[in-house]
Structure 1
Amino acid sequence: MKLDGAGLTCAQVHEVAYGKARVTIASLDRARAAWRAARELTGPVYGQSTGVGANKDVSVSDGGFGLLRSHAGGAGDLVEPFRARGMLVVRLNQLLVGGSGVSPGVLPALESAINNGFTPPIRTYGAIGTGDLTALATTALCLLGEVSWRGPSGDPPRYALDSRDALPFMSSGALTLSDAALACHRIRRLLTAAVDVAAQSFAAVDASAEPVAAAVQEARPHPGQALVAARLRELLNGEPAARVQDPYGYRAFAQVHGAALDVLERAERSVEIDMNGALENPLIAENLAWHNGNFHGAPVALALDALRAAVAHAAQLSTARLATLMDPHITGQLPFLAAHPGESGAMILEYVAQDALAELRHLATPVTTGTAVISRGTEDHASFATQAARYCLRALEPLEIVLACERVAATRALSRAPDPDHPLDEALDQARRTLAETK
């Protein structure tokens, strides 16, 4: 996979993070140009000739290594290697954009770390959506040999960073963006599989296909809604409806699930803009150092808050369909799909699904309603994009559990009246594989 600072996607970050792809650098030209421009700057440059935060007006000389050592102070459990590898991919791609002024020789060292399985020992806590300073400071110290890499035996990547490289290397939310990219990619896979699972429930209760008819969708042309409805039309036989109107879990499925897909699309776009952008402060451009706020994670944080809310809504409708599968008045079978009267059958699935849904509701609480004022008031706002991304990752498991509960119940309901020629068969096999292989 070639990295050029322009085309990195959430899916590609996922591939590299899980060791399914290697990376190569397309060109160092823009990084070299920014580095040369940075070396020719005169006057105060934040973080290089000055301190940082409230020390922005204090002149310093050769203080970059101290900056790395003071900022490599995260806490909590070590971040999983796949997340750390994703961070390295994102930061390498951003540095290829140009704009940081960091020594271009560090980029092949990052490429080597990614391809040879080395990751920095970064900790969970230490960022608030204005830059992953602790994670990237630790990475820089690994390159300098002051902190040990995690990974295989053998020669770890090393690079003798210049003191002036310290802040330019750290000035990014690369770990946050990697977490967001991984979450978006896996949520897309689950929401896609959820349509096929819902189709199984439609078939199991003889739900009407009327709500997904083309005429209905043309009257309200939201892109995600149209996509979901079109997929359901492929999978359902369009047989006469058993009821005039079905519960919302069926009748409004395309609208709710489609909205979740639209929100996901916006989240992926926000994340990918930042993964391919120059989030540097200062930004080296036009032979000048531009002091700015590109590091701030507000666009990503707001998009991910909306995504977690959308995921919770989609899961709520899944549990609603699960409830109908337990109802003999809708399925025409014994309560809870039991094999014999009085047995509990699949009743416990509702408990499991509601437990998982409760977790999703908790995780859907927005992080962007809060803020933080630190560094003696100099840094007076925070996006908490880091937490927004982390909660998206945490939402994957409960979402998968909710969908799996629905699939198990619908499969049980359909098994009483199998139709080997039904178009659902192939779709359900694919959904089953997706739910089993979301990593």
Structure 2
Amino acid sequence: MSAEVVLDGDSLTPEDVVAVARQNASVEVADDARAAVRDSRERVEDIVESGQAVYGLNTGFGQLVNTRIEREEMRELQANLVRSHASGAGRELDIEEVRAMLVGRLNALVKGYSGVRESVVDALCALLNEGVTPVVRSRGSLGASGDLAPLAHLALVLIGEGEADVETGGETERLPGGDALAAVGLEPLDLAPKEGLALINGTPLSAGIASFVVVDGERAARAADAAGALTTEVTMSTTANCDPAIHDARPHAGQSTVAETVRALTAESEVVESHRNCDRVQDAYSIRCLPQVHGAVRDALQHLREAVEVELNSATDNPLVFDAADVDERAVGTSAGAVLSGGNFHGEPLALRLDYATSALCELAAISERRTDRLLNPNVQEHHLPAFLAAEPGRHSGFMIPQYTAAALLNEIRSLGRPSMDNTPVSGGQEDHVSMSLQSAYHARTAVENTHTVLGVELLCGAQAVEYLPGDLALGRGTEAVYDTLRAVVETLDADRALSPDMDAAADIVARGVLDDAIDDAVDGFK
């Protein structure tokens, strides 16, 4: 992944967002995008000069849309908009969340439909590249008109107000907004007409956190395949359920991919071969239906990825500024530029799919927890496995309680609401239908994080079960890599010990993609 992300308004990916947010990749704006920004600003200035009433330039906001603002008050209007909308509550966003929001807002602005000056673009770039992170409260967005309150807290720093955390000399210091800008050689912006609205109107926080959900969720899906394949082996189950003939007969894309992945992970497994002709007729659903369930989760996450990739590269503020030649004659504007009011700030395309992803991740955690039970439960586990995988069941409890924790985390995911189903009209009824996309993003992120730990518990139990395999049977190429990766960070459980550190370590190799890298090295074409 590049140490620099070039923003052109068209090609930002969830992986790029992660690079900027978590790995501190720097950003640069492409020359063509800068030209589009300049052209858009010229159109705004031409419209302002015309004296026409245009929302966001010389009118009030929301229900106050019919209040006309005089020319000498336009700059004050933009600053007051930012100040008044910086009214969030709740916890402060962490640094990666703010950086994700920043890069998303910046990429939307450089598409050239928002009418900001190039100096605004440069200021946002500087915040990212110089390690200035505005202090942003997490609650307040309704997902229409986008993430207003969080974005306003961000924009407050650009006008020299609010607070920001500044990285200098390897340490972070919290400073007033103006001092934070001065620390990196910046002056506060005097916002011109349209700029305050362009900064706070849109979905970049929803899309930024959704980017985390995509990347982290796809890692969870791959880890679930790895954990499930290992559990299949150590419970002496069959991989016949992954035969291509089954999946060609029901060709869902995710299902076929998962079946192929499990076959690759267990390739050359002596464990699988050792009981190919056993008298067991069928395995339990949590193993036999693994491709169908995991595959459906993959398809749901792909559905989310498609929406996120579109959203990251869209103009999501309002109103939007166009070349007059490109729009219908009914648009407000001049011969140079036209302004159209619409609803691209509405987060519904993200909200619905984020809620879908939360449901999908819940199922991924649920089937993993059931496989963990089959590894531990003396009423259903295979005869070669001791109760709860304890060296001396009774005197030791083994992995009994990690399953409790997995069940608790699963319950939390199940208890998460589906915010996109809710609606509360605001702004005197002018904004009478909202998406709640940010709350959907928060819930989906919680679901991902919980799922990482649930999968980590299954991986721990699967690795422990390897110690009880009969004979000296070799695991598959991929599952051997899974086992070795676990054992690099977690020792075999020879006697009871506090297992929280082991669970954290297992969840971490899932969350950071360490497991992906290890399997990639062992299995060609791991998906």
- Report TM bin, short chain: over 0.9
Alignment-derived partner of residue 283 in structure 1: 320
Q: Name which of 247, 252, 264 aligns with 2:301.
A: 264
Superposed CA deviations along residues 2-48 of structure 1, whole A, max 9, x for unmatched, are 11111111111011101342111112011111111111114221122
Q: Which residue of 2 aligns with 1:229?
A: 259
Q: Give SS of 1:40's match.
A: helix
What is the RMSD computed on CA atoms of the aligned residues? 1.8
Give how far 1:293 is off. Answer: 0.6
For residues 63 and 24 of structure 2, what CA distance do their matches in structure 1 show?
43
Aligned to 1:210: 240
Output the amino acid matched with 1:330. Q
- Structure 1 unaligned spans of 5+: none
Sort the Cα spacing of 1:427 and 1:338 in 2 relative to 1 into closer, same or farther, 3 A. Answer: closer
Q: Is residue 308 from structure 1 mapped to residue 358 from structure 2 by the alignment?
A: yes
How many Å apart are 1:278 and its aligned residue? 0.7
SS of 1:246 mapped into structure 2: coil
Counterpart Cα distance in 1 of 2:234 and 2:403: 17
Q: Give the partner amino acid of 1:112.
A: A
* 1:59 counterpart residue number: 68
1:103 and 1:161 in contact (8 A); partners too: no
Distance 1:270 1:66 in 2: 33
For residue 69 of structure 2, what is the amino acid of its counterpart?
V
Give per-residue Cα distances to partners, 1:217-244, cap 9 Å, x unaligned.
1111111111111010112235316421
Match for 1:142: what amino acid? V
Which residues of 2 match residues 374-393 of structure 1 at below 5 A? 374-393=426-445
Distance 1:22 1:246 in 2: 50
Letter in 2 for 1:368: S
- Match status 1:48 vs 2:57: yes
Alignment map for 1:140-179 (pairs within 5 Å): 140-153=155-168, 154-155=183-184, 157-164=186-193, 165-179=195-209
Matched, 1:3 2:54: no
- Cα gap change, 1:107 to 1:198, in 2 (>3 Å): same
Distance 1:386 1:206 in 2: 44
- Secondary structure of the residue that 1:279 maps to in structure 2? coil
1:38 — aligned with what? 44
Contact 1:143 1:157 in 2 (8 A): no
Q: TM-score, normalised by structure 2?
A: 0.80
Residues 348, 301 of structure 1: CA spacing in aligned structure 2 closer, same or farther, 3 A cutoff?
same
The letter of the residue matching 1:425 is E
Aligned to 1:15: 19
Which whole-Å CA distance do the structure 2 matches of 1:331 and 1:75 have between them? 52
Larger-Rg structure: 2
The alpha-carbon deviation at position 125 of structure 1 amounts to 0.9
Q: Distance in 2 between matches of 1:198 and 1:156?
A: 53
Helix, strand or coil: the match of 2:37?
A: helix
Q: How has the CA–CA distance of structure 1 residues 434 and 294 changed in structure 2, closer, same or farther, with 3 Å as cutoff?
A: farther
Distance 1:85 1:406, change over 3 A: same
Residue matched to 1:436: 508
- Looking at structure 2, the residues matched to 434 and 341 of structure 1 have their Cα atoms a distance apart, in angstroms, of 23
Deviation at 1:341, TM superposition (A): 4.6
Please give the alpha-carbon distance, in whole angstroms, between the structure 2 residues aligned to 1:82 and 1:337: 38
Question: How far 1:429 sits from its partner (Å)?
Answer: 4.2
1:110 to 124, 132, 138: 124
Tell me the TM-score normalized by structure 1: 0.95
Task: For 1:189-204, list aligned pairs within 5 A.
Answer: 189-204=219-234
Moved more, 200-209 or 156-165: 156-165
Pick closer, same or farther for the CA change 1:89–1:74 going to 2, 3 Å. Answer: same
State the alpha-carbon separation in 2 of the partners of residues 413 and 290 from structure 1.
Answer: 63
Deviant stretches of 4+, over 6 Å: 431-434
**8 A Cα contact 1:201 1:410, kept in partner:** yes
CA-to-partner distance for each residue in 1:347-374, whole Å, 9 max, x for gaps?
Answer: 22221110111011112x3111110111
TM-superposition CA deviations, 1:387-416 (whole Å, max 9, x none) = 001112222331111111111111111112
Cα distance in structure 2, aligned partners of 1:24 and 1:4: 9
1:108-159 deviation line (CA, Å, top 9, x unaligned): 1111111111111110111011111222222222112123321124326445
Sequence identity (%): 33
Gaps of 5+ in 2: 169-182, 324-336, 490-504, 513-527
Q: Does 1:354 align with 2:384?
A: no
8 Å CA contact 1:190–1:435 kept in 2: the answer is: no
